[in-house]
Chain A
């Protein structure tokens, strides 16, 4: 196979060389390597994350992981697959921890800019109150089910258990509420 000289190939070879030197203790090469892989890590994880603020957190985790596992890199093999596996692993690990702690279901009301940017689409920021107001017109049970599933993020199964109802009844109720709300709010 003919190897094409492209910027990507050059970079790959550069990373391989720097990683190999880093394994020998070359601090300057290691510094260059870590700085050079940061944009790659960001590009790799960025588009697939719900919250862009997590990118830097995961990037840090990846850099620490690269440091910890440097001895496992084989200099005769390409660097990118080794790095990509670590990035995927750390991203999955981060998301697993995040979602298992249900951090995605919590936010602060102190920072309104966060709510504007992440809780509702920014062009529609401020409409959260309208939804709440509209919900007041629904029976309590129907309102509670909607809040559980659509605002607090519970699954239909969890909401059904909490409200002592069947899963299908919960789904039907929430569907009707959503439909009615759409009519009410336009």
Chain B
């Protein structure tokens, strides 16, 4: 048990070892370069994997464009939220999590409607290249985003993990929809969505440890 003397001694120790600190930049300024780099990285991966053959036609379909736009919006807002959540008081902006969370709910509703209208056919279960593509698309962005937010000091590890995976998952989804020509609900749910659910499960389980400070 600590007592008054310990606290006095601790204060003296802490103030004795104080050095000028480099202030953490504004979350917006910290996250924007990450967004640029993440999009550039994905562009590189897409270039490496190749675009889907029918992309030109698909870009004329409003639902497809809406889906891509929604994913892009979730990716960007989720990343900014992660930046804000990496600061103890989130500079009073914790409410921002409502935006990507609501958009994610809309996205899930959209996917559910699409699945209901098209029907869900379970694809043949084997190691599909989309699964490894998703890992390739997700690993680097999630690792770099985690390093970025770890420079802060979060008091919301759960929300921070959720926002991070939402952002990276949405980025990966967007990229996979551009590279993979299979639009069936079963395929997209199992090989495009599931890898990020696994990422989310891992990050959720490790969140408190990963963001400990």
Contact = CB atoms under 8 A, between A and B. Distances in A.
Interface of A: 22-28, 30-31, 34-35, 38, 53, 56-57, 59-60, 63-65, 67-75, 77, 81-82, 84-86, 88-89
Given A27-B16, A59-B2, A69-B88, A85 B155 contact: yes
A31 B11 CA distance: 7
A64 B1 contact: no
Contact of A71 (B23, B91, B92): B23
Contacts of B90: 85
B14 A63 contact: yes
A73 to B, nearest CB: 8
Contact-size category for B? 20 to 34
Contacts of A30: 14-15, 18
Contacts of B4: 56
B145 interface: no
Given A31-B12, A63-B10, A74-B91, A56 B1 contact: yes
B19 interface: yes
B204 interface: no
Given A63-B7, A64-B14, 15 more contacts: A22-B18, A23-B23, A24-B20, A25-B18, A30-B15, A30-B18, A57-B2, A59-B7, A63-B11, A69-B88, A71-B21, A71-B23, A72-B152, A81-B92, A89-B88
B6 interface: yes
Contact of B15 (A34, A68, A77): A34
B213 interface: yes
A154 B22 CA distance: 49
Nearest to A31: B15
A186 B90 CA distance: 54
A86 B152 contact: no
